Structures are given as C-alpha cells and as structure tokens.
Amino acid sequence: MERLLKAINKRFENDTVTFESLEAFLLEQDFKQLDYISHIPEPIEGDYSRNIIQLEPLELVLIYWPPNIESGIHHHRGFFGHVVVLEGTLSNVEYQEEARHFWEHRIIDARRTGILPEQEGVIHKLANTQNKPAVSLHFYYPALEDFEGMRIFCLDQRRIGVLNADATTASWTAPEHHFQSIEKDAFTIGRPEGNIKSHRIHPLIPKPPKVDIIDHITRYYHEQAEHYDSFDLEHKSRRLYIDKINELVAEEVRLSGADHVLHLACGTGRRPQRIQEVSGHTYKMTGVDVSSEMLKHAEERGLICHLGDVLSIDFPPNSFCHITMLYAFGHITSSEDRIAVLQKIKTWLKPGGKFMFDVFHLHNTNEWGPSALQTFNNLNLDQFGYEKGDVFYSKTGGSEVAFLHYFERDEIKDLLTKAGLEMTNIVTIGYAKNSGQIPENDDQGSFFVTATNLPH
C-alpha cells in the first residue's frame, strides 16, 4: 500500500486530478501485487465498512462488503472517482432521473482488478450480490470529508433522502438523525415515455475467460428456454427478421436437395423445423446446443441432439450438406475461437456444402453496435481483454448475462478466408427497423452470410 500511496503523491502532487488522468494512472498499476490485507476495516453487521487511507491529493478508501450487501443509491454531485475491485465481485448499477421519473440505466460487474467508473453526476449504487465478501479500493476527487448534502434514493418506498455530516455510509440503514431531509413519493419508477427496453448492455470487467463466458451463455439460455419461442413470436420486428433468414436458408436447402443439415446453436429446434417446412423437402436434422433445457424441446421436434459448444464436439469429415448457425455465431468468445470453429465447420461440410449464419453489424445505426463500440471506448475495455465489438448483455427482468460479438464486413471475410471457406454471399437484413427487408444502406441491418466449402 505504501508503494501505491507514493505513486499517487508523485503523480498528482503538482498535477490537476481529472477523471481521465486518474483512470489512466489506475490502468498502469498492478493491483494483484497490492498489500492491502492489514487495511481492511472491521466488518459491520448488515452494512459495508470503510477505512479512509488518505484524503490528499485525492481520497483513498478501502471498503469491506459482506455477502449480499449494497450501498444506497446515491448521487455523485461535485466529485468523481474510480473503484478497483480487490476481492470478490461488485456490481455498479447506474440510474437516470428525469421529470420525477427514475429508472435503471446500466449495470457493470467487476471482478478482481476490474475498475468501475464513478463519473461526476452519476446516480448509482454498488452491490455485492455474491454469497462471499468483497473488498474494493475507492479513489475520489475531491476528497469527501463527510456525506453532508448527498442525495440517496429508496426504490421500494420511492423516497429521496439528503444526508448530513453525521452520516457514515450512503445507506438507508443510517439512523434518522443522519438525514437533513427525507422526501416521500418523490418519483415514479420507469422512463417518462414508458419505453421499457427488452435487453440492456451489461459489461463484465475484466472480460471473463472462455469457460466462464460459455457458462454465462448456458445459464442465460436455461433461464430463457421456456419463454424463448414466445418472445420471438410476440415481437414483430424479430419475427419478420427470423422469417426472412429462414426463407433464405430453406431456399438453399431446397435447391441443393440436401439430405443432412447440421444446426449449430439449434436452441429449441423451432427454427430448424420451420426451415424444413418452408423448404418443402425432407432431410435429416442434427442439432447442437449448450443448453440441455433448449435441447429437450429440439428433440421433441425431430432433431438428433448433441449437448455442448462447437469446440467441444466433433463429427466425421464430410458429414453434412449444409451447416447453419443462426443468431449465435456472435456468441463465440474470441476471434481465435471463431477461426477454430470455422475450421471445424469446413471439415464437417461436404465439398460444395454451405455454411449459413447471421451476425449483428457493429455499425448498424438501428441496433446496439454503436452503443457497444461507445461502451468499449468509454470504459477502455481493450485494457480488460475485450475485442472491439464484444458486448455482454442481460434481459430486462432476468438475472443472467450473455455475450455477443458485433462484426464489421471485412472482419467476416477475413475470418472465413483464414479458415479456408469462401464468402459467396453477404446481404444486409433489417432487424430493429425495416425488419426482414433488404435496406438501402449497409449500416441499417444485420449481416446474413453464406460461405462455401469449395472443392480444391
């Protein structure tokens, strides 16, 4: 800890502390080597505990979080900071406030060495949602000598409290005499326009290893299995998009007279079944998926099912006329693994066989791509193992997080070339807007790609 304090004093003794300069400094530090154990404060039953290490040139606070403990939702007015997670996992839940409406905006989860931003003006809470303790190191500027004037929010009772100088934590567990004021019925929960998003971006910092990402995706689809088909059918834009791609795949299957098609990430089997119906052609269907709950439904629809991710399974060479991976190629966790998957697909395809898949477009102005890119840049996610286009997300009302990668056109072609497949067709199909249609501009839809295993 002494080494870190000396580095802080050397860096900021004569320099102005800014949000950006503080973040740059923290990214240079090796927090895995930090000796902090002796500075951990004594636990407090039912609340987090703080140990102020120093106040100048910036405030440094070590916080101990018992299992399933969170701060109150509070407003950073007049100060900013960053939080480094030293043990466990912390969730940074950000909110927005407008015209007496209040709603959850974004969640960022950080594990050991992950850095959470706390920009000036942000309304947020920190939460340890795990069943084990967490420890975090907080860097604030300017220093907070006390909590006087800080606003905190209570969602259950829609209250806003203003703390006074006696308050020791930003929490509703504080006694009433720690508040300047408490306003009841202070806001309505939800966006002013009532537009509830079905999903939200949910970064995990640092990017988890592949095995953990696959586990996240598996749990996400377990959670969605019973409602996944109905979600597709209830949302017109998604239904039209899916119908268009099903039609394109079915036409390829019909024209080739395929006798065996492999559906990677087959889900509940509804789409493979529908593709076969639209093709008007009978053939053998094999399915692969990471979710056993999804595969139960796929087997009922006539697929021969295999449980696992693509890299964990194998088939004999030249087994399939065509292979699909619909709404799922972006779940592959890295460019290295995408090439490995494509190389496997090439060996499984018969000469002349086609691999058909769709991916989200990083620069689609009607979708998440630009937001994912902005999040990548704003949070410096390249410093935490992310590739440009990576995004973690969660479903509104759900508890699990999934992973997706957004693509650029040249990136797709490069991956296929490295794997020995030829991109024989790529079209843009409207998703969020002009669903199921071919838009005039390339940046207004998702990519549907056909790659061919050309004979040597």
Tens digit of each residue's pLDDT (9 = 90 or more) over 148-182: 999 999 999 999 999 999 998 888 888 999 999 99
Three state DSSP letters for 52-67: EEECCCCEEEEEEECC
- What CA–CA distance (Å, rounded) separates 421 from 79? 53
H or E segment to which residue 9 belongs: helix 2-12
Q: Comparing 2-196 with 210-452, is the CATH topology the same?
A: no
Residue 381 predicted with pLDDT over 90: yes
Q: Which fold has domain 2-196?
A: Jelly Rolls (2.60.120)
Chain segment 236-284, per-residue pLDDT in tens: 888 999 999 999 999 999 999 999 999 999 999 999 999 999 999 999 9
Q: Whole-angstrom Cα distance, residue 106 to residue 103?
A: 10
Tokens of 321: 């006329």
**Token pair for residue 116?**
């959470």
pTM for the structure as a whole: 0.88
Q: How far apart are CA 8 and CA 253, in angstroms?
A: 64
Does residue 135 carry a pLDDT above 70? yes
* Distance of alpha carbon 421 from the chain centroid: 30
* The predicted structure's pLDDT at residue 417: 96
Residue 23 pLDDT greater than 80, yes or no: yes
Report, as an integer, the average pLDDT of 219-223. Answer: 86
Query: What value does the mean pLDDT of the chain take?
Result: 93
As a CATH number, domain 210-452 is: 3.40.50.150
Q: What is the residue whose two structure tokens read 């999040």?
A: 375
User: What pLDDT, on the 0 to 100 scale, is given for residue 230?
Assistant: 67
Q: What is the DSSP string of 12-58?
A: HSSS---HHHHHHHHHTS-GGG---GGGPPPPBTTB-EEEEEE-SSS
With a cut of 80, say whether residue 398 has pLDDT above it: no
pLDDT of residue 392: 96
Q: Could you state, in order of their start, the residue ranges of all structural domains in the chain? A: 2-196, 210-452
